[in-house]
Amino acid sequence: MEPQPARPPPERLLFRRLAVFAGSFTLEASEAVCADSSLAAEQIMGLLANLEDRSLVEAEAAPGQRRFRLHETLRQYAAAKLAEAGETARLGAGHLDYFSCLALAAAPHLTGASQAEWLDRLEAEHDNLRAALAFSQTAAACAEIGLQIAGGLARFWATRGHFKEGRHWARTLLAAADPPAATPARLAALRAAAILAYYQADYPEAGAFYEQALAAAQALDDRPAIAMITRGLGAVAHGQGDCATALRNYAASLALCREIGDRAGEATALANLGLAAWQHGDGATGRGHLETCLTLRQQLGDEVGIAYALHLLADIAWSEGRAVEAQSLNDESLAMRRRLGDKWGIAYSLDSLAVIAGRQRDGARARTLFAESLLLFNELGSQHGLSDTLEHLAGLLADEESYEPATKLIAAATALRETIAAAMPPNMQREHDQQLIHLRAQLSDERFRAAWLLGCALVTARAVGYALELTAL
């Protein structure tokens, strides 16, 4: 009988296994992933302390929980030792299992009262979640788990502004799935891909993914998913100016949500209907839908949804001449969105507050708010948000008699909308048309045409840079 190789000391064993973590990790994660018959979970706390004393592991303070990490050079060395021991695949599978469970456990909490805590937890584990997604692509047996993670992270990616990254993972994992069967995991990933494409105003891709998701949801008879996807298809139509289809889908989603008792879905459908009603000239109906939506969101503890409803109610109040109410509601919405790290929401709240500041003749504050909004929308790749903010900044410049820069920005916003096939809602179209009439009256035909052509020629990055220069004046 051949002698068995000597077992490495527990510290060395743990050290090499910690290489499986990307970025930082918790004691709980290390116990779940690294322990086995040769290394007991109850040993790991003491071993981590020993490794920390020897500067092989760094401890870092984090809200609510202590975290640890290996310096990258040490992690690479430990990873080589892990590979030499033939443990890379086994530890990777354990890591994937642990973080897929985390993503699935988090998903239902991202619409409830503890959403801020779970959003922060997922942000802290984002590097590990990326590593788990990457590992899920290494074996066909893991592909379904990768789709589950992508579906579970959809609202996290959307709220924290990881649109581009989330779309990359969802697309990649969906493309790799073979055959593309209608499974709950694939349905969740299709919904994630659709939602994130919508946030970046990629309406053709969002619509295509929503259609695939609808077919999968119908095959699975998943009625909550059908309600959600129907709303999504309505939102895509809304963004492209097809109001009849949008309203029909919103109403169908609302009816189904009420039938199955989906209160979160009901609140979202009411928000959709409220926004559409107001944009098409029925502020009273819009406000009624949004107030009901707000009550539901408050009962559910969904701060992301509460902040959104407050923001829309603020915009309605502003359009109806109630400036103090609009300011108060927007301030409340912005504070909530900053606390949640909701970048897309923050950008829209800043834009609304900038419009108010500009009309109140506080140009300096308006410029500061517009600049922050533009930077966020640009970071997020939110083409629709950029076009709206460029248009609103043009209004400030026109009020200050900077007519040619205002014309350039409106032209840039118009060109950007044409690029993404986005339509202006009727209330904003009226303001747009009035603004153009005003600018044409202030400029000669030659100067207006020249400014318009220069604005249309600005690609997105140059348009944002030009706008930011104007906010710095």
pLDDT > 90 in the chain, percent: 93
pLDDT tens for residues 139-160? Answer: 888 999 999 999 999 999 999 9
* pLDDT score of 1: 45
pLDDT band (50, 70, 90) for residue 447: very high
pLDDT tens for residues 10-25? Answer: 999 999 999 999 999 9
* pLDDT score of 356: 98
Over residues 353-359, mean pLDDT: 97
pLDDT tens for residues 242-274? Answer: 999 999 999 999 999 999 999 999 999 999 999
Phi, psi of 24 (to 5 degrees): -95, 170
Over residues 200-212, mean pLDDT: 97
* pLDDT score of 147: 96
DSSP code for 141: G
pLDDT band (50, 70, 90) for residue 329: very high
Over residues 364-383, mean pLDDT: 97
Total-model pTM: 0.93
Contacts of the segment 33-39: beta carbons below 8 A, 24+ positions apart: 33/91, 33/94, 33/95, 33/98, 34/91, 34/94, 38/7, 38/13, 39/10, 39/13, 39/14
Nearest CA among 314, 297, 316, 315 for reference residue 306: 297
Cα torsion through 246, 249, 251, 256, rounded to 10: -160
pLDDT at 277 over 80: yes
pLDDT at 372 over 60: yes
pLDDT tens for residues 171-182? Answer: 999 998 767 788
CB 76 within 8 A of CB 66: no
Task: Give, for 344, the enclosing helix (H) or strand (E).
Answer: helix 343-359
pLDDT tens for residues 94-152? Answer: 999 999 999 999 999 998 889 999 999 999 999 999 999 999 999 888 999 999 999 99
* pLDDT score of 313: 98
Q: Which domains does the chain have, with CATH numbers?
A: 1-86 (1.10.10.10), 92-221 (1.25.40.10), 342-473 (1.25.40)
pLDDT at 438 over 60: yes
Beta bridge partners, 58, equal 69
pLDDT at 3 over 80: no
pLDDT at 472 over 50: yes
pLDDT band (50, 70, 90) for residue 32: very high
* pLDDT score of 368: 97
Output Rg (C-alpha) for the chain, integer angstroms: 26
As given in the structure block, the two tokens for residue 419 are 């690029």
**Cα four-point dihedral sign 414, 250, 160, 34:** negative
CA 409/CA 397 separation, integer angstroms:
9
* pLDDT score of 125: 97
pLDDT tens for residues 61-70? Answer: 777 778 999 9
* pLDDT score of 453: 97
Beta bridge partners, 59, equal 68
pLDDT band (50, 70, 90) for residue 4: low
Over residues 278-294, mean pLDDT: 96
